[in-house]
Amino acid sequence: MNRSEVGSEPAPSANRARHEQQATPGEILHGRNVLVIAHQYDIFTKAQVDELAALANQVHVYVRYNRIGDLTRVVDVDALQGFGKGDKIAADQPPNVYVHPTPVTYLPVDPWYRRLGPHHYWSVSRRLSNNPVEFDLVHAHFTWSAGYVGARVGDELDVPSVLTIHENQNWLDTELTWGNDRLEWALRHQDAIIRVNEQDCDRLGAYNDDVFAVPNGFDPERLPYQPTGEARQALGLPRDADVVFSVGDLSERKRFDRLIRAVAALDRDVILGIAGRGEQREHLEAVAEAFQGEVDARLLGYVPDETLARWMNACDVFALASSAEGNPTVMFEALGTGTPYVGTNVGGVDEIITDEAYGLYCPPDDEEALVSILASGLDREWDRDAIRSYASQFTWEQIVSEVARVYEHVWNGSNSHPPGTRTASEPRGRN
């Protein structure tokens, strides 16, 4: 494909050569520039972008943020938390990653959200026109509104566009039944769609012929392995205690209240650490107080990576009680420290936890089953080295290698299946 520049005629690409089927990810991305449209440059989006930048020439990231969200610096409004520029963009970045804050103004309510796509596109388009950049491919993260923007930019400039759909199951259900013509247009006009689990690929195939499953990943340097005893000593936790840990935004979907109840139902003393912040903080504090004496539930709030890594390594099991996920990044992070996943079977969990050697799962709405697998998980002797070895295939380095194969697929205009990726028609799970 041609490398294009907004505001000028398309320029020839610096790398027009077709890659062989077995080209390395570095060869695929050598000399290439990627334009990323995202809702944030933090956590998993940043991790993937930074790994991509290690192989590519340049990565330009256009990050949507809500001007109204910046009001939370002076006005404490819960509904606006997390939408401002400071909440969306990490301070550090590799030297060849260029982050472009992209402001839009909207209230976080449905009527405004439905109209967000065109407003987001105009904001990106203006910045590209005023400060042209060269790029070989557009990669959007999340369908609405980044996917719509990516498809429009790619369509107008004859540059291939790829969309990664990170949405949890409930969110994806809402989008696909929303009746939003622009969103459906965006799905149909991608050169390839990446879904973070396999089970949704067939469903998305109704909109696009090129749908590939590539899961989330983890950064072993961000959350490094540490012996359990050392991690507990650093946190001041008893060496012989039963410890369960979880992390996530304190939202209704994560169902930390259910997790507190489930751990309280165990016939043993358990320390339950929950890291994260969000709108359900006061509710969860009340639940924890109600079960005081039955579970030592500790709401830790936001914790820095060093503390997060210690809790991941210190716990006996990592637990999740979510009602819906895409493919929970925290599961991969736990496995990366050798910690088993014990929780609900949501999103792509059963595609990753393919053996009880790596964890246990139960139906998302069966609270008794959650209690049962937590008890089993705490009773079991886990081979943490085996879990870490299994998890090594999910490092961001490995995941970006699969993403590069999808890029190769669209750059070459190939009808073949990119090696290293999977579709829903293939057997699930990894060995």
- The ranges assigned to domains in the chain are 4-217+396-412, 228-392
Quote the CA–CA distance of 59 and 72 in Å, as a whole number.
Answer: 30
- pLDDT confidence bin for 287, thresholds 50/70/90: very high
Report the share of the chain in percent with pLDDT over 70.
Answer: 86
Same fold flag, 4-217+396-412 and 228-392: yes
Q: Is the pLDDT of residue 260 over 70?
A: yes
Residue 7 has pLDDT above 90, yes or no: no
Q: Which of 419, 426, 331, 430 is nearest to 390 (CA)?
A: 430
pLDDT band at 418 (very low <50, low <70, confident <90, very high): low
Q: Is the pLDDT of residue 150 over 60?
A: yes
Q: What is the pLDDT of residue 184?
A: 98
Per-residue pLDDT at 15 exceeds 80: no
Q: Where are the alpha helices (DSSP H) in 65-168?
A: 85-88, 110-114, 116-130, 148-157
pTM equals 0.89
On the 0-12 / 13-18 / 19+ scale of CB atoms within 10 A, 300 is middle
Phi, psi of 296 (to 5 degrees): -90, 80
In 16-75, DSSP assigns E strands to 33-38, 58-66
Q: First and final CA of the chain: distance in angstroms?
A: 35
Confidence (pLDDT) at 161:
99
Confidence of residue 91 (pLDDT cuts 50, 70, 90): confident
| Residue 8: per-residue pLDDT | 32
CB distance 387 to 367 below 8 Å: no
pLDDT at 425 over 70: no
Select the more confidently predicted residue: 421 or 384: 384
The alpha helices in 165-280, defined as continuous H runs, are 169-176, 181-188, 201-204, 228-235, 256-264
Q: Which fold has domain 228-392?
A: Rossmann fold (3.40.50)
Q: Does domain 4-217+396-412 have CATH number 3.40.50.2000?
A: yes
Q: Please say if the pLDDT value at position 397 is more than 50.
A: yes
The arithmetic mean of pLDDT across residues 297-305, rounded, is 97
Q: Residue 110: pLDDT band by 50, 70, 90 thresholds?
A: confident
**Sign, Cα dihedral of 369, 174, 218, 65:** negative
